Structure formats: structure tokens, C-alpha cells
Amino acid sequence: MFSGFFRIVKFSFQEIVRNMSLSVMTVLILILMLLSINTLMVVRVLTDESIAAVKKQIDVSIYFNPEATTDEIQEIRDYVNAFPEVEQESFLTSDEVFVNFKKNYADSTDVLSSLNEIGTNPLGPTLIIKTRDPKDYSKIIKALSVPEYENIIEAKTFGDTETAIDRIHVITTNVQKFTYFLTILFAVIAFIIIFNTIRVAIYTQRTEIGIKRLVGATSWFIRGPYMVESLLFSIISVGLSYVLVDFFLKFLDPYISVIFEKNNLLSNYLSQNLLFILSIEFGVVFLLTIVSSGLAMRRYLRT
């Protein structure tokens, strides 16, 4: 049993050496296919981080009338906090709002001089609300737009960055579509190359295969070397692609950290999901090579 297995492995290495150029081309195509799959992973991670960063900047500010009483303001705060969509709220007193306003317009002499002429703080308290999802802000604003709050709430502003999120989705969707196209293209090319590599190998060895049959070799023994080749191609391509991806992610991480303020974002994602990613990639490549090998052998090894 073991001797037969080692003979199959020996024959598979002989086939790889005999068709070295096609074997190298097959591995290269598989690597390109895997790189396109990993590009999808990178796009997905960057998309999620971009959307999360934009969401953190979204809030709705409720500006109270300076004459609103503490009880009226507290009633609205309690009403807002009752919404399950609200993640957090922060309250700024009139004095805090006034101080922040002067800081924001520190370079504007006209604004500061106007404030000095007024002599008093014309600004009321402000309530800043953050929800779990940007789509929930419209619900909060609608709930506060009722007649009983008209004299308490002076204005409501919504830092609407949902447009930015939509644009991110459009861009990344287009990138993903292009990457899907490349992945499918490389998969088709890999299938054709593997199919023809094995078909040529079988055709050039048809006499040797005939002799094996005459001496009682089973179809599985004849198919074995090509199945081992598929396994070797899968292991080599996945291993090399991992080395390349790990290198490029470490190269990109310093630039990504400047944007998202997270160190080793891509490398950490790869290391945390390494087993899952390698398993999926190996499964895809091995299935592709086995299917193409099986179809090639089915045509030339009909009994």
C-alpha cells in the first residue's frame, strides 16, 4: 500500500519536471487568482473601516432656546434617551457652547467684536446625539419636531454624512465588481491551463498508460499522480500568495494607519483570520485543480 503511494508521488514529481514550464505557469495563474481574492479582502476591510470612521463623525445637534428652563431641557433629554436607537448623548451648557463658539471663531474679528457689543451670552444649551445607525437620525429629528417643543428647541442640525457613506459604497462596489471579474478571469485561465497541462501529459504518455493498464494498473493508480500534482499546485500557490500578501499588507499598513489611526490594521486582520482565509483559498484552488484534472482525465482515460 505504502509502496504504491510513494510510486504515485514519484510519478507526480516526474510529471511536474517533464512539464516544468506549464507547471510554473499554472502556479503563477493560481497565485494571480489568489491575489485577486485577497484584494477583495483588503477592499472589504478598508470599506468597513471607512464607513465606521464616517459614522463616528455623524451626529445631530439640538440647540435649545436660551430661555428654556432646566426642567424643559431635562424632559427632552429623557425623551431622547428613551429611544433604543440612541447610542449616546452629550449636553453642553450655555457657557460651554459660548466658549466653544469663541474658539471656533477665534480668527474672525468681526464675529468676536459683535459678541462684545452684545455683552451677554446669546447662545442656549446644546444637546449632541449619536445613534447606532445614521438612518436613525431622521427618526429622532422627526420625533422632536412636534408643536410642544417648538418654544424649547431653537434649531436642529444634522451633520449628514450619509452621502459620503453612499459614495464609499459606490466606489468600493465598483472596485469589488472589477476584482470579482479578475478573480473569475484568472480562475478560467487557471482551469484551461491545468486542463491542457494534464491532457498533454496524458496524451504524451498514452503508450506508458497503455502498458500500465496491461500490467493491471487501476484507473485510480493512473489518476493518482495528477491528483498529487493538483495538491502540490494548491499548496505551493497558497503558500506563495500568503508570503506576497503578507509583504504587501505590511508595506501598506503605515500608509493606512495615517488615514484610520490604527496600527497594522491589515496585517492584524490577516493574522486574526489566517486559518479561515488559508482554508478558503486552499479549498477553492484545490477544487479548481481537481475538477480540471478530473475532466481532462475523464476524456483520455475512458475504459
Pairing of strands 60-64, 126-131: antiparallel
Sheet of strand 86-92, all strands in order from the earlier edge strand to the far edge = 86-92, 126-131, 60-64, 153-158
Q: Dihedral sign, CA of 135, 137, 142, 143?
A: positive
**The pLDDT of residue 239:** 92
* Range from 25-39, 174-188, 213-227 carrying the lowest mean pLDDT: 213-227
137 within 8 A of 131, measured Cβ to Cβ? yes
Most confident of 157-171, 216-230, 237-251: 237-251
Instruction: Locate 136 and state its grid cell.
Output: 436613525
Q: What is the pLDDT of residues 48-70, one digit of tens each?
A: 787 777 777 777 888 888 888 88
**The pLDDT of residue 257:** 86
Residue 37's contacts (CB-CB under 8 Å, 6 or more residues apart) are: 183, 281, 284
**The pLDDT of residue 212:** 67
Give the mean pLDDT of 188-206: 70
Q: Look over the chain and give the mean of its residue pLDDT values, rounded to a whole number.
A: 79
* Range from 100-109, 124-133, 135-144, 203-212 carrying the lowest mean pLDDT: 203-212
Flag whether pLDDT at 176 surpasses 60. Answer: yes
| Position 246 confidence tier, pLDDT thresholds 50, 70, 90 | very high
Helices (H), 57-161: 70-81, 94-104, 109-118, 137-144
CATH number (3.40.50.12780, 3.30.70.3040, 3.40.50.300, 3.40.50.720) of 58-160 reads 3.30.70.3040
Cα–Cα distance, 49 to 262 (Å, whole number): 10
Q: What is the DSSP letter of 64?
A: E
Phi, psi of 106 (to 5 degrees): -65, -30
Q: Dihedral sign, CA of 163, 166, 168, 171?
A: negative
Q: Dihedral sign, CA of 297, 299, 301, 303?
A: positive
**Per-residue CA distances from 157 to 5, 58, 72, 140 (Å):** 73, 11, 20, 12
Considering just the CA atoms, what is the radius of gyration of the chain in Å? 32
Q: What is the pLDDT of residues 275-295, one digit of tens each?
A: 998 898 888 888 877 777 777
Instruction: Locate 160 and state its grid cell.
Output: 449628514
Q: What is the DSSP letter of 65?
A: P
pTM higher than 0.75:
no
Give the mean pLDDT of 165-187: 74
Helix (H) or strand (E) holding 122: none
Q: Work out the burial of residue 199: count CB atoms within 10 Å of its CB; fewer than 13 is exposed, 13-18 middle, 19 or more buried.
A: middle
Q: Which of 63, 54, 64, 126 is nearest to 90 (CA)?
A: 126
Give the mean pLDDT of 263-275: 89
Instruction: Locate 231 and state its grid cell.
Output: 495538491
Domain with CATH 3.30.70.3040 in the chain: 58-160
Q: Within 10 Å of residue 254's Cβ, how many Cβ atoms?
A: 10
* Range from 159-163, 249-253, 275-279, 296-300 carrying the lowest mean pLDDT: 159-163
Residue 145's contacts (CB-CB under 8 Å, 6 or more residues apart) are: 156
Flag whether pLDDT at 4 surpasses 70. Answer: no
**Per-residue CA distances from 219 to 9, 96, 157, 302 (Å):** 15, 83, 74, 9
Chain centroid offset of residue 119 CA: 54
| Position 245 confidence tier, pLDDT thresholds 50, 70, 90 | very high
Give the mean pLDDT of 156-167: 65
